[in-house]
Each structure stands twice: as structure tokens, then as C-alpha cells.
Amino acid sequence: MTCIIGAKCGDGVVIASDRRVMRGFEAMTEEKIHVVPDANIIISASGLTGMTDKFIPSVLSELERSRVRNLVEVIMAVEDTMKDLNERYSQRLRGIEEEKGGIDALVAGLEQLTSGDAKLYHILQNGFAEEVKTIYLSGHGTPHALPFVKLLYHPEILTNEMANLAWYTIVMVENLEIDQTVGGIPDVVILKNGEGIKQLTQQEIDEKKEKFRNCLRETQESLRNCLWYKTTPKQ
């Protein structure tokens, strides 16, 4: 299962995801955000694992085949791939809940691929794309992550700030055991206006781990004070 967070920021776009994937009854750790570095394109999808396994390679192959020249052409190629794949398997997936059987995707890129503003799109299962102007969350973890993201997000938020918010939110969902299907060290990708793609390094991830532990303790203590708690949990 999945928790993907996409956000349009004051200086670009952020896409973040957990790394837990269910294959049968086994939980595995896998990348859910796929980057095309030469074209500054970011693709992430949620849904039935077998469907996303087909969707991502199909999209990457179509982008290479069609030699896209700008983000509009990228989005149209992804729309066509989404539509074709869902139509092919629609009858076979009949009876499976829609949010589990189909695919939900986020795509980000620069307007002219190597220049221009960063834009974020949500690709619906029917093969129709709509631009995301604020935030969009996808996957099983959405109901748990959305309230926290909405609480702290604002349209002027910077990409580095949003990266911290998205990372913290995904880790919080896992650590507080709100959703057992969300887990693994989050993957966070930043695309700034007119610049290339940046992914968090292992050092940055390790630093965030320690900051998160401290932040969670401080948050819990702050909430207790706000709610006039007089009792404290045993350590």
C-alpha cells in the first residue's frame, strides 16, 4: 500500500512517498518515485501493485519512444498510457474496490523540461490529467496523512519546508502505527522552478530521523500542555 504526497510550493514542486509495498502477504521495501533525470520528470503511482508494475515501465517506454519536447506532451503520453492500461484490465479487475484496483498517478516536471516553472499533475484512472495547484495525496495512507498536511501547508511554502513536512507526515503515520500498510524510509524528490531534480541524500535522511524523534516528543508534550494534561505516560 502507499502514501504519496504531492505539493505545489512557492518555488517549485515536492513529491514524497513511503516505500512499503505489499506483494501477496509479504511487505517489501521498494522505490515508488521514478525520476527521468535528463528530462526533469518525476512519476509516482499508487494502486494495485501488479498494475503499477506495468504502468511505470509503460510510461517510461512511451516517453522514450515519443521523444517528448515539453511537459504538455509528457502529460498527454502519461494520459494515454493510463487510459490504455485501465481499459485493458478493467474487466479482469471487476469486483475489486476501485481505489485498490486502478492506478492513481502524480507527474511533475518543468514546463520546457529543462527550463520554466515546475508543475504538478494528477492523472486520473480514466486517462485525464488535471493540474494540482496546492496539494494532492494518493494511496491507502491518505486519510491519515491529509489532516496533518492540510494543517501546516500553505501555497507559499518553500520546497525545502514542504520536503520536511511530507517526510515527517509519512514517518509519523508509520511510527504512531496509524496505518500498518505505510512504512519504510520516505523518498522525497524536489523540483525547483528552472532547476533540476534533487533527491534527499542518505546523510540528510539520517539527520531527519534524529530530528523527527526529537520533534515527535516535543509535539506530544506541547499537545499535552495545550489540552491541560496533568498525567504523563510511563517511559
pLDDT value, residue 210: 77
pLDDT value, residue 180: 81
pLDDT value, residue 120: 98
User: Among the ranges 27-31, 39-43, 92-96, 184-188, which has the highest mean pLDDT value?
Assistant: 39-43
pLDDT value, residue 66: 84
The reply to whether 195 and 206 lie within a common domain is: no
The reply to whether 169 and 74 lie within a common domain is: yes
The reply to whether 166 and 53 lie within a common domain is: yes
pLDDT value, residue 209: 74
Q: How many domains does the chain have?
A: 2
User: Among the ranges 48-52, 88-92, 94-98, 167-171, which has the highest mean pLDDT value?
Assistant: 167-171
Burial, 69: exposed, middle or buried (Cβ in 10 Å; 0-12, 13-18, 19+)? Answer: exposed
Cα 186 to Cα 108, 114, 137, distances in angstroms: 18, 26, 14
The reply to whether 196 and 206 lie within a common domain is: no
Distance in angstroms (rounded) separating the CA atoms of residues 5 and 2: 10
Task: Answer whether residue 158 shows pLDDT above 80.
Answer: yes
- List the single range of 100-104, 109-113, 182-186 with lowest mean pLDDT: 100-104
The reply to whether 160 and 211 lie within a common domain is: no
Looking at per-residue confidence, does 13 or 168 come out higher? 13
The reply to whether 171 and 205 lie within a common domain is: no
Task: Answer whether residue 33 shows pLDDT above 90.
Answer: yes
pLDDT value, residue 96: 60
CATH of the domain at 168: 3.60.20.10
The reply to whether 152 and 233 lie within a common domain is: no
- The mean pLDDT value for 14-34 works out to 87
What is the residue range of 226's domain?
201-235
Under DSSP, the state recorded for 37 is G
Per-chain mean pLDDT for the chain: 88
The reply to whether 138 and 210 lie within a common domain is: no
- The mean pLDDT value for 154-162 works out to 96
The reply to whether 76 and 190 lie within a common domain is: yes
**What is the length of the chain?**
235
The reply to whether 40 and 30 lie within a common domain is: yes
Q: Grid coordinates standing for 107?
A: 507527474
pLDDT range class, residue 95, cuts 50, 70, 90: low
The reply to whether 104 and 19 lie within a common domain is: yes
Task: Answer whether residue 98 shows pLDDT above 60.
Answer: no
The reply to whether 220 and 189 lie within a common domain is: no
